[in-house]
């Protein structure tokens, strides 16, 4: 097992990408700290991990946009397991709105969770890793909209573009502490959020798939392998990197 004895904090792990990463880390032997604002979703993930792996699990109901909540996440994780080796920042929301009618309240709401939350988690966990002196791994989640424009995504694109630049900056800043900070840019992944947008007619599956060379939407499990690479010693000389996992969507110049 590649993560035997490691401790992984995974935000947004009640469902979707975060849930898949938490399960993937647990299958490789890591002890898992599950983070979400919805405790019932965490309990479902906890039950799966306890029933299918030998990993220990801690569940924490918290808001990553709250500095005090994020500090509590670090304190409770260290109290339970003695350390944090891996941070996966998967908590996030989407925001779809014509830019001319996007309210400032919704703009701030999107950036608070996606960008502020990622920064706070990196900052507080980073301080622990630096003090501990044994390095660590951080995996942030950006998006294809951090690289290419999609209409009516101004707040979401700004937040994910910010996460991309934050990742690169922290990767450079903390390399001297043996902390590797990288990010994954998912394409169209079949999460609850994407399925909801499809059901509302915001996304058209046939149009989405037409641009994806792989010929299908991604599944949350498609992100587990890349995340494991970034969480293990295999990526010890990789930092400040943005790994695109999109079935070729961004590389495709033919539409």
What CATH number does residue 44 fall under?
3.40.50.720
Region 83-99 average pLDDT: 96
DSSP secondary structure string, 203-245? S-HHHHHHH-TTSS-B-GGGGHHHHHHHHSGGGTT--S-EEEE
Paired sense of beta strands 86-89 and 57-61, if any? unpaired
Residues 10-64 have pLDDT tens digits of 999 999 999 999 999 999 999 999 999 999 899 999 999 999 999 999 999 999 9
Spot the catalytic one: 156, 174, 188, 249: 156
Residues 166-175 have pLDDT tens digits of 999 999 999 9
Tell me: pLDDT of 254 over 90.
Answer: no
Of residues 206 and 96, the one with the higher pLDDT is 96
Tell whether 208 is covered by a domain.
no
Residues 126-154 have pLDDT tens digits of 999 999 999 999 999 999 999 999 999 99
Give percent above pLDDT 70 in the chain: 100
Reply yes or no on whether 237 is catalytic.
Answer: no
**Token pair of 123, please?**
């900052």
Tell whether 140 is covered by a domain.
yes
Tell whether 29 is covered by a domain.
yes
Across 65-74, 122-131, 186-195, least confident range: 186-195
Tell whether 15 is covered by a domain.
yes
Q: What pLDDT does residue 255 have?
A: 63
Tell whether 28 is covered by a domain.
yes
Tell whether 196 is covered by a domain.
no
Tell whether 195 is covered by a domain.
no
Region 93-104 average pLDDT: 95
Q: What pLDDT does residue 87 have?
A: 98
∠ CA 132-166-220, nearest 5°, is 90
**In which domain, by residue range, is 224 found?**
7-188+220-242
State how many domains the chain has. Answer: 1
Q: What pLDDT does residue 200 have?
A: 77
Q: What pLDDT does residue 90 have?
A: 98
Residues 196-253 have pLDDT tens digits of 778 777 777 788 889 999 999 999 999 999 999 999 999 999 999 999 999 999 999 7
Terminal Cα-to-Cα distance of the chain (whole angstroms): 42
> Taking a C-beta distance cutoff of 8 angstroms, is the pair 217, 153 a contact?
no
Tell whether 197 is covered by a domain.
no
- Cα separation, 8 vs 229, whole angstroms: 14
């Amino acid at each position: 097992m590649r993560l035997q004895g490691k401790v992984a904090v995974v935000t947004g792990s009640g469902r979707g990408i975060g849930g898949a990463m938490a399960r993937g880390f647990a299958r490789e032997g890591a002890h898992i700290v599950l983070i979400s604002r919805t405790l019932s979703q965490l309990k479902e993930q906890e039950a799966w991990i306890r029933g299918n792996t030998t990993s220990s699990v801690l569940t924490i109901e918290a808001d990553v946009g709250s500095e005090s909540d994020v500090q509590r996440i670090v304190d409770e994780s260290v109290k339970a397991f003695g350390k944090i080796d891996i941070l996966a920042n998967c908590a996030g929301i989407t925001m779809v709105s014509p830019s001319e009618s996007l309210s400032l309240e919704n703009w701030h709401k999107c950036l608070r969770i996606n960008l502020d939350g990622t920064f706070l988690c990196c900052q507080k966990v980073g301080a622990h890793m630096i003090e501990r002196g044994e390095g660590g791994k951080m995996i942030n989640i950006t998006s294809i909209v951090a690289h290419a424009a999609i209409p009516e995504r101004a707040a979401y694109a700004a937040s994910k573009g910010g996460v991309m630049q934050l990742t690169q900056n922290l990767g450079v800043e903390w390399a001297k502490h043996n902390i590797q900070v990288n990010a994954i840019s998912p394409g169209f992944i079949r999460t609850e959020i994407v399925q909801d947008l499809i059901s509302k007619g915001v996304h058209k599956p046939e149009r989405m798939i037409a641009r994806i060379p792989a010929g299908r939407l991604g599944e949350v499990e498609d992100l587990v392998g890349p995340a494991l690479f970034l969480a293990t010693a295999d990526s010890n000389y990789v930092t400040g990197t943005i790994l695109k996992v999109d079935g070729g969507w961004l590389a495709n110049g033919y539409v």
